[in-house]
Structure 1
Amino acid sequence: MTTLGELFDASLAHLAAAARDPHTPADPEECAALAGRVDHVLQQIRKGLGPETNPLTTHAATQGRSPAPAADDPQEWLTQASGRLNRARQYLQTPGDGAAGPSGTRIEAAGEALAAVRDTIGSHLGPDGAPLTPYACLLRHRAAADHLASRYAEVGQAAGQVVHRIAQHTEHPGAAEAFAEAVACLDQAAAVLTHPTARDAAPHLSALPLALPVIPVQALPTDPTTAVTARLAEDSERLSSAAYLALHDHDEHRLSDSDLHHMAHWNSLTRLLAGRVLTAATPALPHAYRHTAHDFTRAATALRESAAAWRNTAAAWQDVTDPREHPPLPHPHPHPHPATVVSRTTATRLGGLLYGARWTPAATPGPARPATEILTDAGGPGPLAASLYRLPSTGWQMAYTAPWAPWVAERPGALVHAYSAVMAVEQQCAGQLLNAAHRTGTPVPRALLDAAAHQALATEQRSAPAPRIRPAPYRPVPRAAVPRELMRDRRPGLRR
């Protein structure tokens, strides 16, 4: 999944390519068209920064002092830069919306990447600005604003390099002067955005991906096994969002006791399969990766322990639900929570990587696929470990949020203890898988983001009030589908 840092990097790469383009603009119209494309990039920067982005103003407000003058306002400098670009287009006597050649295409792509940055951030927030994922809590921190400001400053400076190139090929003296002034304005904006108060920025935000809705994407027998690791990452994003929304007790996202019971079962199976994947792939490791083989063995052991902890959690749910229900696989709920379906799908995907795409949880496990095929489909030992790391990282969030759910809060303490045990072993699993990935030279920047989110989640929950115990709504009939008259009373004319 594309991350926030990758989007910023893509925007910078497109602008750098446009600034280095040896092609000379053919006429004033092309120069104006390029300037128009750059102005669109500046508009995206202004939208991304928002009205409260002046580091000096924000710092002064927190210290009880008067806000900084307009000269230290990056929005003001960006607005002035756009004004200079508009003036240059007026000198060139062209609106600036004509053909701009390959450089214009690159500048447009840079603007699109910046728009995707805002979409990525917005996906973690609801219409009212409320957080929808644990990672949204990080966006409230001052360090997050500083990090985004520093990245936008880089983009602004790169846009200035493009304007400088345009000015070099502009024959009109007034337009050339306006372009030069625009570059100076962009340099001033960057200087404000990279003020020393931004030194404690949060680089972990670079790993922030697009938040996905909690809608299951089924695993199909026709899915290529090479796509398993990417789909696992998407499933983890959905489960993370589901856990956070359930923690905050949104009625439409409530997890019932049946949901939590079944999710514990599927999580146990997923960890068991993940450990078997590592064991099956180990014989294909080259001799140079002999230390990685030991890491795989330790990680597989930790995953088996995690599977046992999740199995104990499912058994704890069994004890407090129907004692007669002891099936080999959980009975499917007629209308399960989407997160329950995602949990089962995750197990199906891992089983497909291990046994073949046609494997299902109801099937009897057969021989594993050849180790070389498993390792190749996963992208190698490092990417395999990095991909499996997402399982315990998300599992920790699920286990942390479950005891706060009303259905768990009113249950015996055995459930709370079971989830506490899961959290401990999931942390061990994550550490072992990170060690295996790092041993192969594979970076896992997502680990820094997860660690920051877990800390923010714990801090937020310590200050939250105790959960209110309310019955879960009847999921099969959406509230919006029930006429309001029937919710209050019988409809007029309906026979009693």
Structure 2
Amino acid sequence: MPLTLGETFDAAAEEVQSAARTLPPVLAPEQLGALVSSLRELVDQLRAYPQQYARDPGHLPRASGAVHTVMSETSADLRAYLSTAAERVAQAAELSGGPVVPFSPSGSLEAAGQRLAISRDLLRSHRDPDGRPTTPYVVVIAQARAQRYVLRRVADVAWAAGRYADQLASRTSPSTVRAALEGTRDALDRAAVFGRQANQDAPAEMAALPFAPALTPRQYQLDTTPVLDGLAEDGDRLVRAAFQASRQERPFSGSDLQQIARSMAMGHLLAGRVLLEMGAAHTEPVAAALGDGAARLRTAAQAWQHTAQAWRWFVDTADPREHPSLPRYAYDVKRLGRAGLLPRTQPHPVTADAHAMAVRIGRFLYGSDWLPENGPRAARDVAAMLDEVGGLEPLLTGLYRLPATGRALAEAGPHHVQHVAGGLVTHDIDRRPLHVGETHGRFYPPTVQQLNALTDTYTPTARAAQKAADQLVTIAHGSGAEMLRARLDAAVQHAPTPPPPPAAAEGASVRVSAAAARSRSTTVSDQRRTAPQSENRPAHLPAGQQSPQRRRTR
């Protein structure tokens, strides 16, 4: 599964506890120096974390030149006692003296520090280097309750570090070093107590915050990657792409939107089939709930298919990969050089993710050699499928990612249509304007009614996907599973959406320029030769024209 915020803190605390359990009963002087130095580095990381996190994701407006963060009061005691612990462990490192040599048990503390660094990188991944949001989860990260969760988990690691300092002090012979380590333990214990007490209302769903994946093309390993891990990673990439595309940072084209709609329709249909197979192997009332979930997934699949059918009448001139069959050029048209090639464009990287989600579910249902071109066949044994994913609860958690991702894509759909509307043409003869004759051509600009009809298809699609996701959450809760990711997604839905950048807001209804369309293309559709610049021709005259020459007189 993709790395989450809660897993990073759990791993850090486990590494510290493992280091405490593996301490030898007697320590040599050089071993003591190495262990104290590792503890000092860990405490420094704990000390720096609350200050950096409270300022990075979001802060209140500055007043009178002072930085006043939303966590300035609740994290004051935590930072104070962590600073005291850093001073005492630094004193212990100086008193231990001697050369510091590598010692194997200290590797666990180093690994704990790495996990803390990864957690900070995870939080930063939801913003770009310039501080702009890259995922919708940034609005939750900036809230005070989310920051309390992080400080509470820092307090948990501080408590484990205090136990390590206590074990290290009990094995230390010099009284001065032992006293400094005991002071470190006391400060870490107080930091843990105050940190937990001040952050009791920390939302548990923040543990499901994922690492924002990069939107770069990648090689898909459908056979080696576990199906639930693949669904989670593909869904995170699609959610990030939909968020950034709605802000005109890396928009979808019309062909991308049509391909994504087809893949989402197939994926929801296959997911509904999986629930039907599971329902046949279970008894009531689980079977009825699974059947209801399958019905809602089929409804979402039909809505996505309706959206894909609506795109069938449109062609994006900037990315005409999806277009109807075109007649061949006549011989005289080619001879006169009037035939032009369609631009060869590359699809958005996440169109492959949408297709991969459907293929993963299909192979989970029908076997590892299944392809969409093969069509349906006999499903695998239910026991084998449940054994592969670890039970019904993990399966429901993994399948939830499909309708949740579909809802995010459908909610952003109207923004995508608005962005590409200026470059769309249609070939729907029933909607052809009256002033356009038969000789005008096969394609013509769409009417406002056609564009509105295309945009309106996304509203019922988002509603159907949300109902399917809610039903999967209900089934999981009935089985005793707690979907923290669903609670996190619900918090994002109720949080205010961050405003788009000024440039994107001003040009939200403007189609990409012709230069941008040409930069997206890998071939030139119409190459025209221009006359070379003549040395005797003024620069202000167009190519092929010359200024009048005076007649020479003898």
Q: Give the 3-state SS of the residue equivalent to 1:469 in structure 2.
A: coil
Report if aligned partners of 1:53, 1:149 keep a CA contact under 8 Å in 2.
Answer: no
Matched residues in 1 for 2:396 and 2:520: separation?
40
Which one has the largest radius of gyration? 2
Correspondence 1:327-366 to 2 at 5 A: 334-366=345-377
The answer for the alignment partner of 1:82 in structure 2 is 86
Q: CA deviation at 1:351?
A: 1.5
Q: Which residue of 1 aligns with 2:212?
A: 211
Letter in 2 for 1:341: A
1:94 equivalent in structure 2: 98
Correspondence for 1:284 among 281, 286, 292: 281
The answer to whether residue 465 in structure 2 is matched with residue 468 in structure 1 is no
Is structure 2 residue 438 aligned with structure 1 residue 438?
Answer: no
Corresponding position of 1:401: 412
- Once the two structures are superposed, what CA deviation does each residue of 1:358-415 show, in whole Å capped at 9, x if it has no partner? 2222223332223333333232222111111011111111111121233367762223
Instruction: Report the residue type matching 1:38 in the other structure.
Output: L
Decide which structure has greater helix share: 1
Q: Post-superposition shift, 1:126? A: 0.7
Structure 2 vs 1, CA of residues 133 and 93 (structure 1 numbering), >3 Å: closer, same or farther?
same
Identical-residue share of aligned pairs (%) = 33
Gap regions ≥5 residues in structure 1:
480-489
Q: Which residue of 1 aligns with 2:31?
A: 30
Give the CA deviation at 1:204: 1.5
SS in structure 1 of the partner of residue 373 of structure 2: coil
- The answer to whether structure 1 residue 275 and structure 2 residue 269 are counterparts is no
- SS of equivalent residue, structure 1 residue 338: coil
Label 1:475 to 1:19 Cα distance change in 2 as closer, same or farther (>3 A).
farther
Matched, 1:315 2:295: no
> Which SS does the other structure have where 2:285 is aligned?
helix
CA 31–346 in structure 1, closer or farther in 2 if over 3 Å, else same: same
Counterpart AA for 2:261: A
What SS does the corresponding residue of 1:134 show, helix, strand or coil? coil
Deviations 1:436-466 (A, max 9, x none): 22222232211111111222255768x9957
Distance in 1 (CA, whole Å) between partners of 2:271 and 2:518 is 33
Which of these residues, 176, 179, 198, is aligned with residue 177 of structure 1?
179
CA contact (8 A) 2:253 2:420 kept: no
Range with bigger deviation, 351-360 or 298-307: 351-360
SS at match of 1:50: helix
Q: 1:420 aligns with which of 435, 459, 463?
A: 459
The residue number in structure 2 matching 1:157 is: 159
After the TM superposition, which of the residue ranges 299-308 and 200-209 deviates more from structure 2?
200-209
Tell me: CA distance 1:408–1:279, structure 2 relative to 1, closer, same or farther (3 Å): farther
CA distance in 1, matches of 2:134, 2:162: 36
Q: Partners in 2 of 1:24 and 1:460 — Cα distance?
A: 58
Counterpart residue identity of residue 45, structure 2? Q
Unpaired stretches in structure 2, ≥5 consecutive residues: 326-342, 423-447, 522-531, 536-542, 544-554
CA contact (8 A) 1:72 1:192 kept: no
Is this contact kept in 1: 2:162–2:184, CA < 8 A? yes
Q: From the superposition, tell whether residues 277 and 106 of structure 1 become closer, same or farther in structure 2 (CA, over 3 Å).
A: same
3-state secondary structure, aligned to 1:362: helix
Q: Which residue in the other structure is 1:455 paired with?
A: 494
Residue 127 of structure 1 pairs with residue 129 of structure 2: yes
Supply the distance in 1 between the matched residues of 2:19 and 2:61 (Cα, whole angstroms).
Answer: 38
1:383-398 matches, within 5 Å, as 383-398=394-409
Q: Is the 8 A contact 1:264 1:310 kept in 2?
A: yes
Change (3 A) 1:115 1:396: same
With over 3 angstroms needed to count, the CA separation of the structure-2 counterparts of 1:206 and 1:409, relative to structure 1, is farther
Equivalent residue runs for 1:100-249 within 5 Å:
100-102=103-105, 104-190=106-192, 193-194=195-196, 196=198, 198-219=199-220, 223-224=223-224, 227-249=226-248
Taking a change above 3 Å as real, the CA distance of residues 114 and 476 of structure 1, as seen in their structure-2 partners, is farther
Q: Give deviations 1:281-315, integer Å, cap 9, x for gaps.
A: 33334x5xx32221211111001000011111112
CA distance in 2: counterparts of 1:303 and 1:436, whole angstroms: 13
In the alignment, residue 136 of structure 1 is paired with which amino acid? V
- What SS does the corresponding residue of 1:358 show, helix, strand or coil? coil
Q: Secondary structure at the match of 1:470?
A: coil
Single out whichever of 169-178 and 212-221 deviates more from structure 2. Answer: 212-221
User: Aligned with 1:366: secondary structure?
Assistant: coil
Match of 2:312, SS? helix
* Residues 16 and 272 (structure 1), Cα distance of their counterparts in 2 relative to 1, 3 Å cut: same
Cα distance in 2, alignment partners of residues 438 and 193 from structure 1: 31
TM-score normalised according to structure 1 size? 0.83
2: distance between equivalents of 1:476 and 1:136? 33
Tell me the equivalent position of 2:538. Answer: none
Measure how far apart 1:259 and its partner are: 1.1
Q: CA deviation at 1:175?
A: 1.2
Q: 1:59 to 1:80 in 2, by over 3 A?
A: farther
| 1:15 aligned counterpart, secondary structure | helix
